Amino acid sequence: MSILVYINSNGGIHKSALEVVTYGKKIGENVTVITSGSADSSSLSSLGKYGATKVLVDRSLQNDDAQQLTRLITSAAENMNASTIVFSQDIIAKAVAPRLSVRLSAGLISGAIDIPSPDGNVKVNVFSGKAFGSVHVHSSKKIISVLPNSIQPEITGSDCAVEEYNGNIGAPSIKVIDTKKPEGEIPLPEAELVVSAGRGMKAPENWHLVEALAKELGAATACSRPVADIGWRPHHEHVGQTGVAIRPNLYIAIGISGAIQHLAGVNGSKVIVVINTDAEAPFFKAADYGIVGDAFEVLPRLTEAVKKFHATRH
Amino acid sequence: MKILVCISKSPDTTSKIAFTDNNTKFDENGVQYIVNPYDEWYALVRALEIKETLGGNVTIVTVGLAADEAIIRKALAIGADDAVRIDAEPSDAYYTAMQISNYAKSNAFDLILTGKETINYNGSQVAAMLAESLDLPFVSLATKLDVSGTTLTLEREIVGGLQIEELTIPAVVSCAKGMAEQRIPNMRGIMAARTKPLEIIAPVAIEPLTSFVNYSIPNSKTACKMIDPMNMDELVELLHNEAKVI
Ligand SMILES: Cc1cc2nc3c(=O)[nH]c(=O)nc-3n(C[C@H](O)[C@H](O)[C@H](O)COP(=O)(O)OP(=O)(O)OC[C@H]3O[C@@H](n4cnc5c(N)ncnc54)[C@H](O)[C@@H]3O)c2cc1C
Ligand SMILES: Nc1ncnc2c1ncn2[C@@H]1O[C@H](COP(=O)(O)O)[C@@H](O)[C@H]1O
């Protein structure tokens, strides 16, 4: 089985890249990585530790143009006769993997949360995380797009070769006018720890309490939908059925009632902590740890406790 | 502007999710279907706004069986001009995309809009498959779409940010939150929808590439452990030693 893994290496090697290389190694022996990003050769080479046999990099591609990326990955897949192509299920994968599926007539499994079972079927989230489905691919070639935080990166080898690659990507069809990236924030879908708050915080000027806890934990921040709708928080923080779906190790929900549409986006989290004044809030039914209390009093106390915990460990 | 909007159905967001036939089929008992929210709120409404300023025509297309005509009428009531139903069970995203692509090939649309994803199988696959099959540029998860002549200006989400892009029609765009505001159909719309043209066409022969073999429901959580709001050291201790997440 020869596996081709696509990673987005813009701005360095992300954790999601280590996850998908590890995934590739678990399902096949010969794992080639294809990338177009800006990461330098020595960091690309370190992907060998996670199971890559070789890394191919085409530095001529800019802006992750989906049609160009499709041509690049198709060319690499055909050259090595890849049986399975692996992506991390992010915005790039959502635009590229289905194109590749059509081009190669390869069945696409998107949102995989585990490696294939012995009969080759792959488990995915369906109905916004309310159920799992097991997908069978009829074609001989497969594409698997893995949900972030579904697999733990594992070191199994040592650095590997990095080769410049020319994928004949053609011209871009989309012209990029401007890019806006907030600096220094942890991207929500990748975050292992998430601190999230809802209407219970009362007003945007109270968010410093939420941010202080997130900072102390090294967590990303998120919010419920009404909070984004009224403009207290930016839209990319909104989690749930109509927002981002996340599955961090820890999700702390503050002043969020736990409506079914909110839960749909977060019920894949490993551990859920709920802080709410109302002991009857539905969120407690989905929680592992619950605190019935006023966020304005509990948050500073929790932040202080985390600070103390970190101090004693260094 | 000739616009095609792809409409799918999804279970009402409060539906109970259960399975029958040895967990191989979704249990439709008591499930209320709605127009997939992304398709209705964002793709369809933006298409109507563009038509209202630039003129043209908005066609909706659904791959689905006769029962789906209820959601088609709803979309017509909101303002689409006419509808096409491709008479087949949408077995997988590939099958669905190939059916729509086959229809679109003979109808020269300037713009094809879809929702961001269906909220049942959450594949986010159909639109990009359609674009590849039609060899068109595709912008995913657009939060803004403006048209000027043959140029589209779009804002879309990228990994950790936003990007503003330009391209020339024809193109496929998947629509996310921010694109438009929900519209409630009025009585006149509902009446008019009854007589708007709905064409039913036969599917072409396509083999799906994937299928769901079975489903399962996640184990429900063990009872929530309650912690004294005065004792946050205990919570931190549990998160570290018991849950092992910090
Ligand atoms: C089709 C559809 C899609 C939707 N999609 C989403 C989605 O993707 N994401 C989403 O989040 N919602 C979504 N919603 C909305 C959802 O149904 C809820 O309305 C929303 O999640 C409620 O937000 P909230 O919990 O912040 O606010 P509220 O329901 O108002 O809850 C506030 C909570 O804060 C508690 N509280 C108040 N004061 C304090 C305090 N001082 N300290 C601690 N706790 C306090 C209250 O007890 C209450 O439980 C959707 C709805 C529909 C119909
Ligand atoms: N059966 C269908 N008929 C028409 N359009 C569909 C169908 N299924 C999905 N779509 C469109 O494709 C988008 C993405 O769907 P999906 O790939 O299933 O997440 C939806 O938001 C719809 O606009």
Question: How many Å lie between the centroid of ligand 2 and the Cα of residue B7?
Answer: 6
Q: Distance (Å, rounded) from C-alpha A193 to C-alpha B245? A: 8
Same domain (yes/no): A156, A12: yes
Question: How many Å lie between the centroid of ligand 2 and the Cα of residue B114?
Answer: 7
Find chain B residues with C-beta within 8 A of A126's C-beta: 120-122, 212, 215
Same domain (yes/no): A248, A129: no
Query: CA-based angle A144:A150:A151, to the nearest 5?
Result: 90
Tell me the shortest Cα–Cα distance from B202 to chain A, in angstroms.
22
Q: Which domains does chain B have, with CATH numbers?
A: 2-213 (3.40.50.620)
Using the predicted structure, report yes or no on whether residue B7 has a pLDDT greater than 70: yes
pLDDT of residue A184: 57
Using the predicted structure, report yes or no on whether residue B79 has a pLDDT greater than 90: yes
CATH number of the domain encompassing residue A17: 3.40.50.620
Q: Pick from A118, A149, A164: which residue ends a domain?
A: A164
Averaged pLDDT, B53-68: 96
CA dihedral (B85, B87, B90, B96) in degrees, to 10, reads -60
Same domain (yes/no): A192, A300: yes
pLDDT of residue A83: 96
Same domain (yes/no): A143, A239: no
Number of domains in chain A: 2
* Residue A131: inside a domain: yes
Cβ separation A138–B127 shorter than 8 A:
no
* Residue A19: inside a domain: yes
Same domain (yes/no): A264, A153: no
* Residue A175: inside a domain: no
Q: Read off the tokens for B190.
A: 């509902």
The maximal CA–CA distance of chain B, rounded, in angstroms, is 68
pLDDT band at B12 (very low <50, low <70, confident <90, very high): confident
pLDDT of residue B23: 93
Tell me the shortest Cα–Cα distance from A61 to chain B, in angstroms.
16
pLDDT of residue B122: 64
Question: Tens of pLDDT along B100-115?
Answer: 999 999 999 999 999 9
Find chain B residues with C-beta within 8 A of A138's C-beta: 207-211
Cβ separation B158–A179 shorter than 8 A:
yes
A259 is in which domain, residue-wise? 188-313
Q: Which H or E run contains B213?
A: strand B210-216
What average pLDDT is seen over chain B? 93
* Residue A43: inside a domain: yes
pLDDT of residue A173: 86
* Residue A92: inside a domain: yes
Residues (pLDDT < 50) of chain A are none
* Residue A80: inside a domain: yes
Same domain (yes/no): A150, A195: no
Same domain (yes/no): A77, A201: no
Q: Which of residues 238-257 of A touch B (CB under 8 A)?
A: 238, 241-243, 245, 249-250
Same domain (yes/no): A16, A88: yes
Q: Distance (Å, rounded) from C-alpha B59 to C-alpha A61? A: 36
Report the first-to-last Cα separation within chain B, whole angstroms.
54
Using the predicted structure, report yes or no on whether residue B213 has a pLDDT greater than 90: yes
Find chain B residues with C-beta within 8 A of A284's C-beta: 224
Q: Does A15 touch chain B (CB under 8 A)?
A: no
Same domain (yes/no): A232, A121: no
Q: Which H or E run contains A110?
A: strand A107-112
Same domain (yes/no): A109, A208: no
B173, B112 contact by CB (below 8 A): yes
Q: Distance (Å, rounded) from C-alpha A40 to C-alpha A57? A: 10
CATH number of the domain encompassing residue A300: 3.40.50.1220
* Residue A209: inside a domain: yes
Same domain (yes/no): A19, A157: yes
Q: Pick from A148, A164, A180: which residue ends a domain?
A: A164
Same domain (yes/no): A65, A145: yes
* Residue A304: inside a domain: yes
Tell me the shortest Cα–Cα distance from B102 to chain A, in angstroms.
14
Using the predicted structure, report yes or no on whether residue B8 has a pLDDT greater than 70: yes
* CA distance to A276, B116, B141, per residue, from A230 (Å): 21, 22, 21
